């Protein structure tokens, strides 16, 4: 029960303070994003433990580094606040994982919730890296549903480079997790991380291409995933208004967590 240990709380506070300062200094996330990710990080640290936090930190640091590289080389014209993540992004990518880590700390089925946690993190990590690295692809991406060429940044757009980036991230996560944890056998960690990550990022693209809301700007005529553009309300084209990019990310992490649970319950023992 790591959350009952005072030393764990002090360690979490110390580590998170360092990350908090670095995040402020390098503008990884906006202030709402920093506060939300500190809460998420703290809960994961004290209820899950160091191994859980290491997976989260890997996701966080590698994602922000690639976001910075990508923003420097190509701006995503879809998004004004490009490269600086807010609280919605943190909840969408880390909400399911946080619940899994808290459940792991409170329950007697710790290895089960550890797998669910890994599944949610893998999905968010693979999708974030695929998006950021995919935007560096020199050719036009294609929509995952009909494989037609679309503009970079279109919801549901995929590239071979993005998939490779996602796979590379999952490989790093598998290696680091295998080194530090003793709950699950290494092959189980690998199967969980790769399956949840690949299914999660594919579901994210499929939902992005289908049910996610899309708008057209009434001023400049551009297609956008935001209901506002050029300072005005944009015209709703298709998809459900309630389903934005954050909702899609959240559902994808839930699917990643479910894949991990299914693997642990029915495929391995």
The answer to the question of residue 77 lying near Zn ion (CB under 5 A) is no
When CB distances to Zn ion are compared, the closest residue is: 217
Residue among 132 and 244 whose Cβ is closer to Zn ion: 244
Give the residue carrying structure tokens 């506070």. Answer: 13
Residue among 201 and 217 whose Cβ is closer to Zn ion: 217
Per CB under 5 A, the segment of 17-25, 110-118, 226-234, 251-259 that binds Zn ion is 226-234
Per CB under 5 A, the segment of 20-28, 34-42, 53-61, 213-221 that binds Zn ion is 213-221
Distance, in Å, from the CA atom of 123 to the CA atom of 128, rounded to the nearest integer, reads 9
Distance, in Å, from the CA atom of 143 to the CA atom of 27, rounded to the nearest integer, reads 31
Per CB under 5 A, which of residues 120..149 are in contact with Zn ion?
A: none
Contacts of 25 (CB under 8 A, 6+ apart): none
In the set 24, 31, 77, 219, which binds Zn ion (CB under 5 A)?
219
SS3 label, residue 139: coil
Give the count of residues interacting with Zn ion (CB under 5 A). 5
Smallest distance from Zn ion to CB 218, Å: 8
The answer to the question of residue 150 lying near Zn ion (CB under 5 A) is no
**Alpha-helix runs per DSSP H in the chain:** 6-26, 31-43, 50-73, 87-106, 110-134, 160-180, 186-209, 245-262
Starting at the earlier edge strand, list the strands of the sheet with 235-238.
223-224, 214-216, 235-238
The answer to the question of residue 229 lying near Zn ion (CB under 5 A) is yes
The answer to the question of residue 237 lying near Zn ion (CB under 5 A) is no
Binding residues for Zn ion (CB under 5 A): 217, 219-220, 229-230
């Amino acid at each position: 029960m790591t959350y009952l240990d005072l030393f764990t709380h002090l360690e979490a506070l110390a580590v998170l303070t360092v990350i908090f300062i670095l995040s402020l200094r390098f503008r990884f996330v906006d202030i709402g994003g920093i506060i939300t990710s500190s809460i998420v990080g703290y809960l994961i640290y004290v209820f899950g433990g160091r191994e859980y936090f290491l997976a989260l930190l890997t996701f966080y640091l590698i994602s922000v580094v690639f976001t910075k590289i990508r923003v420097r080389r190509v701006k995503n014209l879809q998004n004004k606040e490009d490269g600086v993540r807010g609280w919605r992004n943190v909840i969408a990518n880390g909400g399911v994982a946080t619940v899994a880590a808290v459940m792991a700390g409170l329950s007697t089925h710790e290895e089960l919730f550890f797998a669910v946690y890994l599944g949610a993190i893998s999905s968010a990590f693979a999708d974030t890296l695929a998006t950021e690295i995919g935007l560096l692809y020199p050719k036009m991406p294609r929509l995952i549903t009909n494989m037609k060429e679309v503009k970079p940044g279109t919801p549901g757009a995929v590239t071979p480079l993005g998939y490779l980036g996602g796979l590379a991230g999952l490989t790093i996560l598998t290696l680091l997790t295998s080194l530090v944890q003793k709950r699950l056998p290494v092959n189980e960690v690998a199967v969980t991380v790769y399956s949840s990550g690949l299914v999660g990022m594919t579901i994210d693209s499929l939902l992005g291409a289908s049910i996610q809301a899309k708008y057209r700007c009434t001023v400049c005529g551009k297609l956008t995933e935001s209901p506002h553009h050029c300072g005005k309300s944009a015209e709703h084209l298709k998809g459900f208004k309630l389903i934005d990019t954050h909702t899609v990310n959240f559902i994808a992490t839930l699917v990643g967590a479910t894949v991990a649970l299914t693997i642990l319950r029915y495929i391995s023992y």
